[in-house]
Amino acid sequence: MKPLVKICGISNLNFLNEVTELDDISYLGFIFYDSSPRNVTEEFLRSIANFDFRNKRPVCVYVNATEEFINQTSSYFKNPIIQFHGDETNQFCKSFKHEFWKVIRIKNSDSINLIENYPDASAILLETYKKGIYGGTGDSFDWKIFEKSNLHHKIVLSGGINIKNVDNAICIQPWCIDINSGVELSVGIKDISLVKDILKKF
């Protein structure tokens, strides 16, 4: 069974319109983190207040954000998934009454054990560990790490996935593959033709 696809780091309305038309994508990710070059602006949020996501589910991404900020920004989306990328606890994550995904930054095989701290997460996203950086490293880790683990969560595979290595990611058979920098012309600038090319691999 082929993995689902998430395109993350969307911050441009034209690209959002184009990617929403593609049938083979299930999730669209929006980053709310000032340090990210893909950070969503207030202007962008206002422009999508009544946006029709069709059959795609929006995913709002946060890093150690305040409760007020999460509630305020996620309110622009209908039935969003909240993706927590920082040091949030399971209790904090589930307090928003939304389905949530928790990111685990993979440093080594022991990192997998951190998944057990988030029993209420509907999915776990595995991302590359880099000291002081929360996601968006563009680097991949040894994806085979989680193959040997007895995981009960749905796994979203992330970390530098592009057209050159997506076949390897698909072979591992995660529940979903998260693609971000791998479909960009330059940092933060996504290109719909690159998305279409990578989708042909699925």
pLDDT confidence of residue 38 = 96
**Phi-psi sector, 51: left (phi>0), alpha (psi -120 to 50), beta:** beta
Convert the pLDDT of each residue in 20-30 to its tens digit. 999 999 999 99
Cα distances (Å, whole numbers) of residue 125 to 47, 159, 193:
28, 10, 25
pLDDT at residue 112, as a whole number: 82
**pLDDT at position 107, please?**
78
Write down the pLDDT at residue 106.
81
pLDDT at 30: 98
Domain boundaries, the chain: 4-199
What's the whole-model pTM score? Answer: 0.92
String of DSSP letters for 143-190: GGGGGGS---SEEEE-SS--TTTHHHHHHT--SEEEESGGGEEETTEE
pLDDT at 138: 53
Residue 49: the pLDDT is: 87
The CATH fold of domain 4-199: TIM Barrel (3.20.20)
Residues of the chain with pLDDT under 50: 137
Token pair for 168? 């390897």
